[in-house]
Amino acid sequence: MITLMVNNKEYQLEIEPHETLVDVLQKRLGLMGVRMSCGQGECGACTILLDNKPALSCMMLACQAEGKEILTIEGLGTYDDLHPIQESFIEEHGFQCGFCTPGVIMTTKSLLETKPKSNASEIAMSLSGHICRCGAYPKIIKSVQNAAKKLEKNHG
Amino acid sequence: MANNELNIPLSVIGKAFPIKDAREKVTGTLKYAIDCQVPGMAYGKILRSPHAHARITKIDSSQAEALPGVLGVVTYNDAPDLDWEAHWFNYKGHILDDHVRFVGDEVAAVAAVDEEIAKEAVKLIKVDYEILPSVFDPQEALKDDAPQVRAEGNAREPAICSWGNVDKGLEASDIVVESSMNFESQHYAPIGRNACVAEWTADRVTMWTSTQTPSECRDAIAMGMGMPLSKVRIIGMPSGSSIGLWWTNNFMLVTVLLAKKICRPVKIELDQEECFATVKRRHIEQPKGRLGCSSDGKITAIDIEHIFDNGGYGVKPDPGYLCADLWGNSLNGRFVCKGVSTNLVTASCMRGVGDVTIGTFLNRLLDLAAIKLDMNPLEFYLKNHLKKGEILQQLHTALAHEYETPPECEDRWPQIFHLSSEALHECLIKGAKRFNWKEKFKGWGKPLAVSGSKRRAVGVGIGTHCCGTEDDAGPTSAIVRVHSDGSVSLSCSMGRHGQGSETTQSQIAAEVLGILPDQIDVEAGDTEVCPWSHGSVASTSAYRTGFATKGASMDARSQILEIAARHYIKGKPEQLDIKNGVIYHKKHPDQKISLAELMSQPQPDTLTRPSIIGRPIHRMPPTITFARQFAAHFVEVEVDIETGQIKLLDYLLTQDSGTVLNPKVLENQVTGGAIQGAGFALIESMVFDEQTGKVLNPNFLDYKVFRAPDFPIQPEILFCESNDPVGPYGCKGAGESPIAASLPAISQAVYNAIGVWLDVPMTPQRVLHALGKI
């Protein structure tokens, strides 16, 4: 039995020791916004925030997340109540197929909290763990810049 | 603006509406097929061939069937003795047969109560193989004594297209250049995998899968299973980046077979390695040829022989080469294509098929000629590229017997086999100015700057492709239904792989209907609701699907105006208009009724609410015969002659996709193409085991693609809007010319930096080898 804190809710789960975090989030908690693509830590689609830092949920066991705050895309904003980062991605068309988007947005959140004044090159570097096969990178970067402005305004 | 029969200012065309499923994408709530669950669903797993080429002499699945939790096994004994075929020769074969043609080919499949048991059970199937000799190299496969991959032989009938007299043309040319290239195989490298769920209800099958081609998928299942089209329903779901991969794939048909056998819904989900190594890929291509020119820089003859591999199940005679018409001023041409079967995973259409490879090769021949003539490439391209109204020589030669204009369409269609619109000239001129080409191009093989081991230089390249094409399967169609509250459903079987087609289609319909795109919902995947369409392939959506959407919307609009004029507004239908959801008399705007009110009122003559169903009423012209999209790319590269590393420093994209329907959607389309092209140019290639043909890099660890820092962060984009006479509101296709422009641009820039021409991908190893450093 483990206890996971996911999106500000506590879950007690009986899991197998070998279960990965992405599997538990998807299959036990139904959080399908945590995308699983490569399963090898290469594509970044499964990125979540673990104590506010980006983590690849396919590369860790669920039990390793015990005692940490897990935030997934579902905990960031909802369809009718979007987070400013999500709004920015919509406004700037920061995606095509959308498969990489939840992971990219989670990394963006962490980046803008730690380095809100990142320039475009720094944003690109910080997103280098994510593959967007559609090649929407220029608009993804614009979305992050737009989000930085929105968040600054909100805080200011 | 031409082609705007309503003669009102465009109100939603050209605006950057967010894409329709944007909220689902940013909240992670969009469902792809891998997320699909159906009650009572079992899980399937496929047993795949460990051999490149073999005949199955015996299959014993008894141990697998005995494993607790296993629900059933299918082998070739369960498969109908029928071939299914994908469009445009991309696949032909049985669902399962006793002949395996590449490592990873489907042998059998197991359904079980969970995926783990299915995986275990697959290992328990005993298969005896008679190993057959195998062949991987297309040149080897063409030889008479080569092992034959398919019953119909390895070599497809050569596809020959020739006009004028090439031999005489070359003889009469002032200069002739000659070259050859080798293209390794690029992979779709899909983010997100794919899955399908098949469920039988009585004698009908329903399938949920991520696909660009729901109609093709339905047709293929009906063909492979030998059943009527009416008994197959595809519910096409969005896919991750597909770029040609997720059309109809054999694993989907295996799932259908398995679900039939166990009488339960079955889901097969592909893992990453299966996505990379068992579905399909771009062809390995080997063009060679000659190009002749007059001393004043006019192309006189092009002679190309192109050999490419089809892998195990592709049967293409040629990959398509619309780029031949790009230089259609050439008086003499000969293109000989030879498609060859090999014991490699199937090769198939991938974004820009043919125009990426043959187009790059043609650009190279042009460059070699320009070097010989000491002409600036820009000047050379401007002089030779196809202009509006000029004849499409290659296509005319190849297809003149198939198409002619019916008299009743003469005033409606552009002259067939003549280019309907073109702003490539403008792309080149405006792009060059913006990029400062005059300053930056220092002459052939001359870098713009040298700093230590680094050489910087610029290049320009051109790409083209069709705007959808026809075959005998049927015209792309669409249906518009107006509901009793004035909201609208648009159904067109496009599939959804991310380009935003639902949004641009809704803009077209909204423009016609005088409402906002938000009031229109688009169903793009359910074949029970959507009429037949090619799907989102061959750059079809904007042009051909758009033509159908516009036609269906016009039909619905006519019905609405007719009802309004009959019951609510004094006047004739043609005196009425719809704006912001209100139908009104153009001369007496106070006479009006809202669309919602009109649709909700029982009509006096029928005592029922109106039933408005619009469908395209005009015959769709054969668009392949006149419509082309164009891209011209300008790039600055830096080559390090010590490390062999190539960096892209600056990138300018110009695009002629006709009228821009939605600028942000189009910007994503064109940069996406450029980035995938740059990946192919510099780093992407599949590696096959020399002994077995097995894919050795079936994952993102070993198959590298571009990431955010690898491409210039904000490339500049210029749209040059030719106004196409057939495309809805003057628009054209967009997705495939950009990938075809990026390779030649980068390749030329590298030549200008270091003075050598390279095959792609231009890896550091290739650079250093060409420079004699390794």
- Per-position DSSP letters for B98-152, written without gaps between them: SEE-STT-EEEEEEESSHHHHHHHHHT-EEEEEE------HHHHTSTTSPPSSTT
| Pair (A94, A127) in one structural domain | yes
**Range B545-580 burial, b when 16+ CB lie within 10 A, else e:** bbbbbbbbbbbbbebbbebbbeebbebebebbbbee
Cβ(B674)–Cβ(B742) below 8 Å? yes
Using one digit for the tens of pLDDT, what is the confidence trace for A37-77? 999 999 999 999 999 999 999 999 999 999 999 999 999 99
Helix (H) or strand (E) holding B489: strand B488-491
| Pair (A93, A126) in one structural domain | yes
| CA-based radius of gyration for chain B | 27
Name the residue range of residue A101's domain. Answer: 84-155
| Pair (A112, A145) in one structural domain | yes
- Per-position DSSP letters for B185-218, written without gaps between them: ------SS--EEEEEEETTEEEEEEE-S-HHHHH
**Token digits of residue A140:** 């993804």
CA-based nearest distance A91→chain B, Å: 6
Task: Fill in the DSSP letter of residue B711.
Answer: S
Chain A residues whose beta carbon lies within 8 Å of the beta carbon of residue B193: 37
Cα A94 from Cα A113, distance rounded (Å): 19
Question: In CATH, what number is assigned to the domain containing residue A131?
Answer: 1.10.150.120
Question: In CATH, what number is assigned to the domain containing residue A44?
Answer: 3.10.20.30
| Pair (A70, A113) in one structural domain | no
Considering only residues 533 to 592 of chain B, which have any Cβ-Cβ distance to chain A shorter than 8 Å?
A: none
Write out residues in chain B with pLDDT < 70, as ranges.
1-9, 328-329
Cβ(A108)–Cβ(B164) below 8 Å? no
Among candidate residues B487, B489, B554, the one with its CA nearest the CA of residue B515: B487
CA-based nearest distance A104→chain B, Å: 10
| Pair (A47, A99) in one structural domain | no
**What structural domains does chain B harbor?**
422-467+627-774 (3.30.365.10), 470-614 (3.30.365.10)
| Pair (A150, A99) in one structural domain | yes
Its pTM stands at: 0.97
Considering only residues 19 to 38 of chain A, which have any Cβ-Cβ distance to chain B shorter than 8 Å?
A: 31-38
Confidence at residue B3, expressed as pLDDT on a 0 to 100 scale: 42
Cβ(B699)–Cβ(B687) below 8 Å? no
Q: What value, to the nearest 5°, has the Cα angle with vertex B229 and ends B482 and B250?
A: 110
Among candidate residues B760, B756, B595, the one with its CA nearest the CA of residue B682: B760
Confidence at residue B9, expressed as pLDDT on a 0 to 100 scale: 63
Number of domains, chain A: 2
| Pair (A67, A91) in one structural domain | no
Cα B760 from Cα B680, distance rounded (Å): 7
Cα B251 from Cα B268, distance rounded (Å): 8
| Pair (A40, A97) in one structural domain | no
| Pair (A64, A91) in one structural domain | no
Considering only residues 187 to 226 of chain B, which have any Cβ-Cβ distance to chain A shorter than 8 Å?
A: 188-193
Write down the H helix ranges in B351-491.
357-373, 377-384, 393-399, 424-435, 437-440
Count the neighbouring beta carbons within 10 Å of the beta carbon of residue B175: 16
Q: Where are the beta strands (DSSP E) in chain A?
A: 2-6, 9-13, 47-50, 53-56, 69-71
Q: What value, to the nearest 5°, has the Cα angle with vertex B268 and ends B266 and B270?
A: 175
Cα B186 from Cα B681, distance rounded (Å): 10
Using DSSP, state whether B561 is helix, strand or coil.
helix
CA distances from B327 to B136, B316, B384, B539, B751 (A): 33, 24, 6, 21, 22
| Pair (A54, A17) in one structural domain | yes
A40 touches chain B (CB under 8 A): yes
A134 touches chain B (CB under 8 A): yes
Cβ <8 Å between A135 and B675: yes
Cβ(A132)–Cβ(B710) below 8 Å? no
HSE of B655, CA atoms in CB hemisphere, 13 A: 33
Among candidate residues B115, B125, B34, the one with its CA nearest the CA of residue B74: B125
B15 touches chain A (CB under 8 A): no
Cβ(B287)–Cβ(B180) below 8 Å? yes
Cα B630 from Cα B326, distance rounded (Å): 9
| Pair (A54, A114) in one structural domain | no
